[in-house]
Amino acid sequence: MVKAVILFVTGLILICLGGDRLVDAAVAIAKKLGIPQIVVGATIVSLGTTLPEILVSTTAAFDGSAAIAAGNAFGSIICNTALIAGITQLIRPSGQVERASMWWRSAFFFLVLIGMNVCGFMTGAFNRPVGVILLVLFVAYACITVMRAPLEGGSEKKEEEEEKISIPVQLIILVVCAAFLFVGAKLLVNNGIIIAEAFGVPERVIAVTFIALGTSLPELMTSVMSLIKGYGNVGLGNVIGANLLNLLLVIGIPSAVAGIPLEPSAVKVDMPLACLVMAVLIVPILVRKKSSRLQGIVLLLIYAVYCGASFA
């Protein structure tokens, strides 16, 4: 148990270090290319911080742990939105959000999630064809992001010091930081499971709480560091992008490889709740172009009730 605690703390340190520099590198690239912060957060940053979820779910699918594979993805979406976005919006609500950068990603997310919920309700599983479709949708999402980047990014001005930014160097820093987040989250998850199992916690509860929180810590640290450094929209974009990648890759890859049977609670509770918390976060922002602390409070209350019900 002592070893597990030490490795758990080591993972937390790696995540803190990786999250700090990853934000700096992502914002530097955004400034150099004239891309809005929310676009970088929803693409480069979210891909780096979603790597732990992809690894955990794919490994779980190969090992036959369906509850972990599905619970990790949907639990991470709930955690990203209700806990992480809830905390950041409570501390510092997002203002002057680029609605053009957000609306189509949000629509994409809701359409995919609703389709997956219907599929899960009708078949009770995400089989290989569903996984392939999700991976194709990921390619479409990446292509749309690239094509829309010039339309979403022309308004930001470059300062003289930004001309000295080296994109290859910043990309290397991003890769290194993503590796820190990846290893750190793996240490947190593996040793968090050991600690949780010592107290007799069921597999699904571990997946939607301990594992989901552990693999979402990169998003948490990235969002917190974004707030500290004054780049709040990077954190918001990271949450939206990470949630999309949780659907398209974290579910898509293991589904395409081995298929994922679903527990009834995933279809009846986790997926509808993921849709609800995203609506609480996104809809007011799309209407008002900014968020409020009230949203943060509501999201945190929802997460507290969800965790309490999971352990009941």
Q: How much of the chain is in helix, strand and coil states, percent to nearest 5?
A: 85, 0, 15
- Please state the pTM of the whole predicted model: 0.76
Q: Which domain holds residue 305?
A: 2-153+165-311
Provide the CATH number for the domain around residue 272: 1.20.1420.30
Examine residue 276 and state whether it is found in any structural domain, yes or no: yes
Question: How confident is the model at residue 154, as a pLDDT?
Answer: 47
Question: How confident is the model at residue 109, as a pLDDT?
Answer: 93
Q: Choose among 285, 242, 280, 238: nearest CA to 96.
A: 285
Examine residue 207 and state whether it is found in any structural domain, yes or no: yes
Q: Which two tokens stand for residue 297?
A: 């409070």
Examine residue 22 and state whether it is found in any structural domain, yes or no: yes
Examine residue 39 and state whether it is found in any structural domain, yes or no: yes
Per residue of the chain (312 residues), what is the pLDDT tens digit? 788 888 878 887 787 777 667 767 877 877 777 777 667 766 667 777 677 777 777 776 676 666 677 787 888 899 889 988 898 888 888 776 667 777 888 899 999 999 999 999 999 999 999 999 999 999 898 888 777 766 655 444 444 455 577 888 888 888 888 788 778 777 876 777 787 777 776 666 776 777 777 767 766 776 777 766 766 666 677 788 888 988 998 899 888 887 888 888 889 999 999 999 999 999 988 888 788 899 999 999 999 998 888 776
Contact 180, 18 (CB under 8 A): yes
Rounded distance, CA 302 to CA 53, Å? 22
| Terminal C-alpha separation, the chain | 25
Rounded distance, CA 137 to CA 123, Å? 20
SS3 at position 126: strand
Rounded distance, CA 162 to CA 310, Å? 48
Question: How confident is the model at residue 207, as a pLDDT?
Answer: 67
Examine residue 192 and state whether it is found in any structural domain, yes or no: yes
Contact 46, 271 (CB under 8 A): no
Q: Choose among 117, 148, 114: nearest CA to 42.
A: 148
Examine residue 224 and state whether it is found in any structural domain, yes or no: yes
SS3 at position 291: coil
- Match 């189509």 to its residue by tokens: 104
**Burial profile 196-211: b = 16 or more Cβ within 10 angstroms, e = fewer:** beeeebebbbbbbbbb
Examine residue 158 and state whether it is found in any structural domain, yes or no: no
Rounded distance, CA 202 to CA 198, Å? 11
How many separate domains does the chain show? 1
Distances (CA, A) of 114 to 82, 100, 110, 264, 291: 18, 22, 6, 16, 24
Examine residue 284 and state whether it is found in any structural domain, yes or no: yes
Question: How confident is the model at residue 228, as a pLDDT?
Answer: 67
